[in-house]
Amino acid sequence: MLQLTVLREQTEHVIAGLNKKNYKNAAEEVAALLELDQQRRQIQNEHDTLQSRANSLSKEIGMLMKNGEREKAESAKAETSELKQQTKSLAEQLSSLEDEIQKALYKLPNLPHESVPFGKSADDNEVVLEHGQIPQLHEGAQPHWELIQRYDIIDFELGNKVTGAGFPFYKKQGARLQRALINFFLDEAMKAGYIEVQPPILVNEASGYGTGQLPDKDGQMYHATADNLYLIPTAEVPITNMYRDEIVPVDQLPIKNTGHTPCFRREAGSWGADVRGLNRLHQFDKVEIVQITLPERSYEALEEMSSYIQGLLQKLELPYRVLRLCGGDMGFTSALTYDMEVYSAAQGRWLEVSSASNFETYQANRLKLRYKTESGKTQLLHTLNGSALALPRIVAAILENNQTPDGINMPKVLHPYLGFEKIG
Nearest to 258 by CA among 314, 188, 360: 188
Q: Find out whether 234 is annotated in a ligand binding site.
A: yes
Q: Do residues 36 and 399 touch, judged by C-beta distance below 8 A?
A: no
Peptide bond before residue 215 is cis, with ω within 30 degrees of 0 = yes
Q: Find out whether 353 is annotated in a ligand binding site.
A: yes
Cα–Cα distance measured from residue 355 to residue 339, given in angstroms and rounded to the nearest whole number = 4
Cα radius of gyration rounded to whole Å, the chain: 27
Q: Find out whether 288 is annotated in a ligand binding site.
A: yes
**Which segments of 142-233 does DSSP mark as H helices, in order?**
144-150, 156-162, 172-191, 205-211
Q: What is the dihedral of CA 318, 323, 329, 333, to 10 degrees?
A: 90
Q: Find out whether 139 is annotated in a ligand binding site.
A: no
Q: What is the DSSP string of 318-333?
A: --EEEEEPPGGGS-TT
Q: Find out whether 265 is annotated in a ligand binding site.
A: yes
Q: What is the DSSP string of 226-280?
A: TTTEEE-SSTHHHHHHTTTT-B--GGGPSEEEEEEEEEE-TT----SGGGSGGGS
Phi, psi of 90 (to 5 degrees): -65, -35
Q: Find out whether 393 is annotated in a ligand binding site.
A: no
Burial class (CB within 10 angstroms; exposed 0-12, middle 13-18, buried 19+) of 41: middle
- Quick check: helix, strand or coil at residue 32? helix
Cα–Cα distance measured from residue 264 to residue 221, given in angstroms and rounded to the nearest whole number = 7
Q: Find out whether 352 is annotated in a ligand binding site.
A: yes
Nearest to 284 by CA among 331, 217, 224, 233: 233
Please count the other Cβ atoms lying within 10 Å of the Cβ belonging to residue 410. Answer: 22
Binding residues: 234, 265-267, 288, 352-355, 385
Binding residues for ATP: 265-267, 352-355
Binding residues for L-serine: 234, 265, 288, 385
